[in-house]
Structure 1
Amino acid sequence: MLDNSVVTIKGIGDKFAEDLQSLNIYTVEDLLFYFPSRYDVLEIQPLSELIHEDKVSIEGRVLNAPSLSFYGRKKSRLTFNIEVENIAVKAVMFNRAFAKNQIKMGDVVTLTGKWDAHRLQITVSNYQKGSIEKTSEIQPIYSIRGDVTSFRLKKAIQQAIREQANQVEEILPPDMLSAYKIPNRMGAMKTMHFPESRVALKHARRRFTYEEFLLFQLKIQILRKRRREATVGNSQHYDAMKLETFISKFPFSLTNAQKKSLNQILSDMKSPYRMNRLLQGDVGSGKTAVAGVALYAAITAKKQGALMVPTEILAEQHFQSLTEMFGDLARVELLTGSIKGKRRKEILADVENHQVHILVGTHALIQDDVHFETLGLVVVDEQHRFGVEQRRALSNKGLHPDVLFMTATPIPRTLAITAFGDMDVSVIDEMPAGRKEIETYWTKANTFDRVLNFIAKHVEAGEQAYIICPLIEESDKLDIQDAVDLYNQLEAYYPPSIQVGLMHGRLHSTEKEEIMKEFAANKVQILVSTTVVEVGVNVPNATIMVIYDAERFGLSQLHQLRGRVGRGDKQSYCILIADPKSENGKERMRIMTETNNGFKLSEEDLKLRGPGDFFGTKQSGLPDFKVADMIHDYRALETARNDAQEIIEFNLLEEDPKYEPLRTLLENEGVFDTVLD
């Protein structure tokens, strides 16, 4: 049986079984499905088709006896020439002194290694004497650690296939296999380990890519369905006429993207199920206006609303904007840690008695003494800044309130499907008309004097600037400008009439709040900061964003920082000071200067950095797929998502016998026993 220990496989003793545990291989099934991490393809190609610096394989006759030289301790260099297509190619081998006695003049050898097209030279990583077939031979390469060797692991997998491969059962329905032209599970598993051809390997990979995505999406859709069904009776009967009148009084027209997102949110609020929706849109795209209308819809449905944000200054700004938006239509109150004593008690009493319609605040909203009479809608801004427990505590304060999460971090479609699959996602992907695009420039540190003069000119005209640094204090390890040092330099550089402020993550939250308030009030004209300024405040007078050592940031973070300016009607600028050494770093700078579209940038960032780095590996919560790749296999991801939705919507796991193997597998993994939030 596949769930038996690996020691049941011939040749695997207790010691080797213990070694295999370092690879998370415990059962026969773990061993059979421990797929190679990559494949080396030994394929002889003509010299004219070889690409500079690629890993290649060539075959030729040795023209001279190898020359061996030693350098350093136990280091050697072996060189010889081989004739390939009547051309002499130089072969270099490092630390293979023993090969001098194996390779003789006149031998035919097959060499694999890094190709240098300029020197007609190959740096050899593997070689074998004699000719191989011109067709490709595919070598599986496994990730190994500890005492497990590649040879022994391959041998164990081979033996497991001989003994237990026929126990691998198909879990996908037959019509799915034929519709997508994918091989059966047992055949695909064998091919993944010992591929006969590139085509066979491609189809085996396609099969497991789809399988992984489908299983993951089914888990998400099952969870989503159970959550929805757990909150039946949540319909909010809002007044559509009042909403229309409310929107008509805005000093601007909603964009089509805002209207679409708003309709999706209102539809959720009207439904009997609890809303669990993510609203994502670039900085300045108008998420707050959409959230404001949704909050007003809750008020007309005789419910209360709450808006939770990560910082006090952001809470104050939202409080002011909502107060202006609602006027006499609703009572908006602010609750933060700074509000204490009698005033706090009054607000809490009025919230409990439904005299407050909308409560805006920080995590103070989830304290035990905050009680709503009828909480209908919770809006959480910059949702990734709050822990799951904090968000859940606020959600649980009312009678299953609808929850709308907002983020200004544009999330690529593939990541949204994967990381937020249990949420509905609304996207505001167009900017309001007439908004000036931020001009972005890339320069090097030797032009910093010109940048400082540029800032001075704009500050003298009444504007303000941010200068962002990656570090707080000087580091021996990294040659990058630090915030404290730069602050001291600017203090000395600018006249006393220009106030320079300093903000970083080591300051107490009250100190950070105070500095941001001074900056917002234009008491500080230039704010030197680390990335703690990334999320939050609206300072319309800030028109310049300078980012030092910009190559150290990802595209999404650079875009978030850039979004701190351009909030008013003045032309704004973002200046990237960077000297990237890698092509990847140069590409990031180039893309930043070419587009202000956050969604386009987020897609590029995902390609350049990968999903773990995009979210931050620790809190990404992204699944660790063995075969599937969210970036390259996004079409398969979308297909699997659509199939999973259909399977759950039509209850096929329960009602259609051909889906029984899938249901059994999910049951064995405990999917139906998951405790809901």
Structure 2
Amino acid sequence: MNKDLEKLSCKDIVELALLMPKKFDDLRLNNEPILNELNCTKVIIKSKKQLPGKRLSIIAYSYNWECECTITIFNLRPFHNALFAINKELIIYGKLGDFAGLLQFINPKIIKDSGEITANYLIKGVSDKEICKIKNKYLTYEALKEFNLLDEHIKLLLIMKENSQEAMKLLNSKELNECLKFVEIYHHIKRLNETYKNDILYKKIKTFDINKWLKSLPFKPTSDQINAINDIKNDLESIHHKIRIVMGDVGCGKSLVIFAAALMCYPKKVVLMAPTSVLAQQLYNEAKRLLPGFLKILHFVSSKTKLMQDELKEANFVIGTHALLWASLDDATLVMVDEQQRFGAKQRMKLKDLATNDKENPHYIEFSATPIPRTTALIHSDIYSYSFIKELPFKKEIETKLITIANSNELFNHIKSENKQNHQAIIVYPLIEESKSSSYKPLESVISFYEKNFDKVYYTHGKDKEKDNILLQFAENGNVLLSTTIVEVGISLPRLSIIVIVAPERYGLSTLHQLRGRVGRNGVKSYCYLLSKFEFSDRLIKFANTLDGFKIAEIDLENRKSGDLIDGDVQHGISFKYFDEVLDKDILYKAKEYLNKQN
């Protein structure tokens, strides 16, 4: 990256053009004073007086206004007396007020040269002059036209660089704001298209007929599952490399779609990466139970042993965790990632790259129980294809309760009542150890309380090397599990009827939704408690009132924004400076229409 652009955290010329001043300083001498506005005037100091409370009161004469004004300095320092010496001429700049009928400046800036309008970017470590110099060096009509920007937008962006007087009028205007939104989202989707090109495959895949297998299953697939399977079938039979996201709530039956995709590729190789070893083992066991015996299924745990490498060469369906990132996979036809939100974008792309050879790219599918908002899906629709599984094999009955720690006895009595019915409870804590910055007790400090008041209590966390074994023991024998968010995905717990999330205000709604989805897996009446020390925000109240993951995704988007899918550095957080994914759908449609005209 160009070092000049790197200083300003800009990846290219368009991002440089979108870098706007936070404000302008109009350092031209005002012909007349304007109250409650920033004014610039040339003065001579007539008198001064030190006041109690480290204040300095100054009487000055304004040459351009031909009248007296006062200057008040708060937090007086020794250099102020020299700066405002009697008979000294100064150019001052600041907000002008009225005090007892006199014009008054409070702590004004001293300006060396007047007559200019200067842009103020407020970027730490880079001066405004240097930023202007960089923009003047790189921003030209020809440079911006190379990115196929509209002429009307190029004109506005160049005015903001070249004409300070016009730029000051345009800043915060509707005209400029809409230009910035359009250019930003257009440039984003254009870069996405260039990053994720649909490469042509050298060989079309002839899919294996899975109809007999589907009819032999011990349950009937839902319509949404069949639709997702057909979507994948069409992808596999395309001459283009396809990237698909299959989204559905916890318990909707994404595993069946995964297995169907693997079988359709037979006898070619398919790879599935899961976020935890427990989940990988569970998927492997389910695959062995449901898929035909002729399909060679491998649970890949390490690339270090020769036996595992030999089995990898022969396998049709490989299931593993991060260990797959170090495996030889360049003969895979399809790469799948389960619970994709648990992996960084760079990890997911590394797996896809490992399965890419000189001749062809594998098809690629991500599965997620954390739905993304419709607008985000639309932004990325030219890159990703989407399948949505909204039907559930059974009705979920989950009641979400907002409860304060002061009323936690009600919760503890409910857990004991559920334990008597052979049901389980998980209590999720945000911290393992004591922290000065937290007002909540850590997991380690509450273990003795739960062991004293409940039977068959287990506890684990992400740093625990035995966590997988403990989760298995809890599944078989436990009543109460104390844990961190490692239970967000993983082992199936059909007896789980209560999940308690301590400090819910610390989590994004997607995480809360995932955690809540751990209960009610088999239609058991279940409960999710949000346990807090504080008043509940609108965000959490809205979450408690819906189980619809897609509605929750929209609420989450309003609070967290989407993240950076191009470079993979940002998993959530505001990825747009100007474009609003909730409010600016019309601008998105126009930008996509303009991009499609160019292709």
TM-score (norm. length: structure 1): 0.67
Greater per-residue helix proportion:
1
How many angstroms does 1:186 deviate by? Answer: 3.3
Matched, 1:335 2:296: no
The question of whether the paired residues in 1 share the 8 Å contact of 2:7 and 2:126 is answered with no
Amino acid at match of 1:504: H
Relative to structure 1, the CA distance from residue 167 to residue 348 in structure 2 (aligned partners, 3 Å threshold; closer, same or farther) is closer
Residue 520 of structure 1 aligns to a residue whose secondary structure is helix
Q: Pick the aligned partner of 1:401 from 349, 362, 378.
A: 362
Aligned equivalent of 2:240: 273
Trace 1:471-550 onto structure 2 (pairs within 5 A). Answer: 471-494=431-454, 498-508=455-465, 511-521=466-476, 523-550=477-504
Q: Pick the aligned partner of 1:286 from 242, 253, 264.
A: 253
Amino acid at match of 2:468: E
Q: How far apart in 2 are the matches of 1:542 and 1:125?
A: 64
CA deviations over 1:227-267 (Å, ceiling 9, x no partner):
513xx22421124xx33333334455544443443332211
Q: Pick the aligned partner of 1:228 from 180, 183, 199.
A: 199
The question of whether the paired residues in 1 share the 8 Å contact of 2:355 and 2:361 is answered with yes
CA deviations over 1:108-138 (Å, ceiling 9, x no partner):
89x9xxxxxxxxxxxx9999xxxxxxxxxx9
Relative to structure 1, the CA distance from residue 33 to residue 94 in structure 2 (aligned partners, 3 Å threshold; closer, same or farther) is same
CA deviations over 1:9-62 (Å, ceiling 9, x no partner):
xxxxxxxxxxx996569999998764124799xxxxxxxxxxxxxxxx79xxxx
Amino acid at match of 2:372: I
The question of whether the paired residues in 1 share the 8 Å contact of 2:246 and 2:389 is answered with no
Aligned equivalent of 1:594: 545
Q: How far apart in 2 are the matches of 1:613 and 1:173?
A: 20
Relative to structure 1, the CA distance from residue 366 to residue 37 in structure 2 (aligned partners, 3 Å threshold; closer, same or farther) is same
Q: Pick the aligned partner of 2:579 from 622, 628, 633.
A: 628
Size of the aligned set, in residue pairs, is 537
Matched, 1:105 2:100: yes
Trace 1:13-24 onto structure 2 (pairs within 5 A). Answer: 23=8
The question of whether the paired residues in 2 share the 8 Å contact of 1:35 and 1:626 is answered with no
Q: How far apart in 2 are the matches of 1:616 and 1:561?
A: 28
Q: How far apart in 2 are the matches of 1:540 and 1:28?
A: 54
CA deviations over 1:177-235 (Å, ceiling 9, x no partner):
68xx996553465689845767992122222322222223222213333x513xx2242
Matched, 1:578 2:532: yes
The question of whether the paired residues in 2 share the 8 Å contact of 1:307 and 1:380 is answered with yes
Residue 501 of structure 1 aligns to a residue whose secondary structure is strand
The question of whether the paired residues in 2 share the 8 Å contact of 1:286 and 1:432 is answered with yes
Q: Which range moves more in the overlay, 427-436 or 467-476?
A: 427-436
Q: Tell me, which stretches of 5 or more residues in structure 1 are unaligned?
A: 7-19, 41-56, 59-67, 77-92, 112-123, 128-137, 649-677
Aligned equivalent of 1:309: 274
Residue 228 of structure 1 aligns to a residue whose secondary structure is coil
Aligned equivalent of 1:144: 123
Q: How far apart in 2 are the matches of 1:438 and 1:139?
A: 58
The question of whether the paired residues in 1 share the 8 Å contact of 2:228 and 2:389 is answered with no
Relative to structure 1, the CA distance from residue 33 to residue 556 in structure 2 (aligned partners, 3 Å threshold; closer, same or farther) is closer
The question of whether the paired residues in 2 share the 8 Å contact of 1:218 and 1:645 is answered with no
Aligned equivalent of 1:651: none
The question of whether the paired residues in 2 share the 8 Å contact of 1:606 and 1:614 is answered with no
Q: How far apart in 2 are the matches of 1:586 and 1:416?
A: 27
Q: How far apart in 1 are the matches of 2:416 and 2:190?
A: 57
Amino acid at match of 2:523: D
Aligned equivalent of 1:116: none
The question of whether the paired residues in 2 share the 8 Å contact of 1:140 and 1:193 is answered with no
Identity %: 26
The question of whether the paired residues in 2 share the 8 Å contact of 1:483 and 1:528 is answered with yes
Relative to structure 1, the CA distance from residue 462 to residue 391 in structure 2 (aligned partners, 3 Å threshold; closer, same or farther) is same
Relative to structure 1, the CA distance from residue 555 to residue 614 in structure 2 (aligned partners, 3 Å threshold; closer, same or farther) is farther
Matched, 1:410 2:371: yes
CA deviations over 1:335-371 (Å, ceiling 9, x no partner):
335x998xx83x7545534xx4323223344554x67
Residue 173 of structure 2 aligns to a residue whose secondary structure is helix
Aligned equivalent of 1:295: 262
CA deviations over 1:476-518 (Å, ceiling 9, x no partner):
2211121111222101222xxx21111112212xx01111111
Q: How far apart in 2 are the matches of 1:69 and 1:448?
A: 57
Aligned equivalent of 2:410: 450
Relative to structure 1, the CA distance from residue 312 to residue 631 in structure 2 (aligned partners, 3 Å threshold; closer, same or farther) is same
Aligned equivalent of 2:215: 248
Amino acid at match of 1:597: D
Relative to structure 1, the CA distance from residue 379 to residue 192 in structure 2 (aligned partners, 3 Å threshold; closer, same or farther) is farther
Relative to structure 1, the CA distance from residue 437 to residue 615 in structure 2 (aligned partners, 3 Å threshold; closer, same or farther) is farther
Q: Which range moves more in the overlay, 320-329 or 620-629?
A: 620-629
The question of whether the paired residues in 2 share the 8 Å contact of 1:543 and 1:573 is answered with yes
CA deviations over 1:423-448 (Å, ceiling 9, x no partner):
42323251325322311010100111
